[in-house]
Structure 1
């Protein structure tokens, strides 16, 4: 796994904090993932583990896939919440600033895909208008 920001210390801290927040000991948390408690301890000791271990940890900590990679790159994890209407599905709780960034990126790509002769200023104006409209509707 490419550790982009390589912020293993921050990942260790956030993993431990989330584990404790969920009321899990190291052994029960590791058991949820199917990994050894030694591998879990490596993560909390800021040591590198295989990419599949990070994926398993995300599931145990109720984080969206890719959250460990986001932390290593300097971002924050995205928590998920089980949906009572569909127990096999979960809802990601995306921070507002991240959602706005993602929506803005989607608008930019869509604008270029539909009308490639838009200027940068026109794309930015379109982006702001859509974001403002979504804010007015309470979506953002």
Structure 2
């Protein structure tokens, strides 16, 4: 297992933030994370994986880019096609996580009578269906 390159991520995050002419606090707000968390990333310190998703959003990087940088790949920018459509490359593992989170949040939001086990089973079936269709 490789060691995450926190220093490289710190450098790329700071560089991209300044390219976008964002201060730390506005960038953190855009990403839905605290300014202290953002500062930790720019200081080369570890944060929760879910915080990296907010940084991806604020920096207009494709989902999973921060985690990709930690693994040694370059971040991908999300290039808008028009005002309503954005195409991004999403790593398979990140897509599975995003879909799983969406299914879980949707099931919880319906305020139905689903148990935790039923929500997990629904999540499993959705992911299985998407795999069979070749989406993930």
TM-score, normalised with respect to structure 1: 0.59
Aligned-pair CA distance for 1:35: 1.2
Which segments of structure 1 move beyond 6 Å, counting only runs of 4 or more?
A: none
Q: d(CA) in 1 for partners of 2:2 and 2:42?
A: 18
1:76–1:58 Cα change, 3 Å: same
Aligned: 1:75 with 2:91:
no
Counterpart in the other structure of 1:40: 38
| Alignment equivalent of 1:90, drawn from 63, 70, 86 | 86
> Which structure has the greater CA radius of gyration?
1
Take 1:74 and 1:5, find their aligned partners in 2: how far apart are those partners?
A: 10
Question: Retained in 1: the 8 A contact 2:56–2:62?
Answer: yes
Aligned length: 90
| Structure 2 match to 1:9 | 7
TM-score of the pair, normalised by structure 2: 0.61
Aligned residue for 2:29? 31
Say whether residues 1:63 and 2:61 are aligned partners: yes
Q: From the superposition, tell whether residues 80 and 4 of structure 1 become closer, same or farther in structure 2 (CA, over 3 Å).
A: farther
Give the C-alpha shift of residue 34 in structure 1.
1.7
CA distance in 2, matches of 1:56, 1:34: 6
Structure 2 gap segments, 5+ residues each: 90-136
User: Residues 3-34 of structure 1: CA distance to partner in whole angstroms, max 9, x if unpaired?
Assistant: 94410000000000000001100010001112
Q: Find the aligned partners of 2:72 and 2:35 in 1 and give their Cα distance.
A: 26
Provide the alpha-carbon RMSD of the alignment: 2.0
Cα separation, 2, equivalents of 1:39 and 1:45: 10
User: How far apart are residue 91 of structure 1 and its match?
Assistant: 2.7
Q: Deviations over 1:29-65 (max 9, x none)?
A: 0011121111100000000001110001001101111
Which residue number corresponds to residue 113 of structure 2?
none
Q: Which has the higher strand share?
A: 1
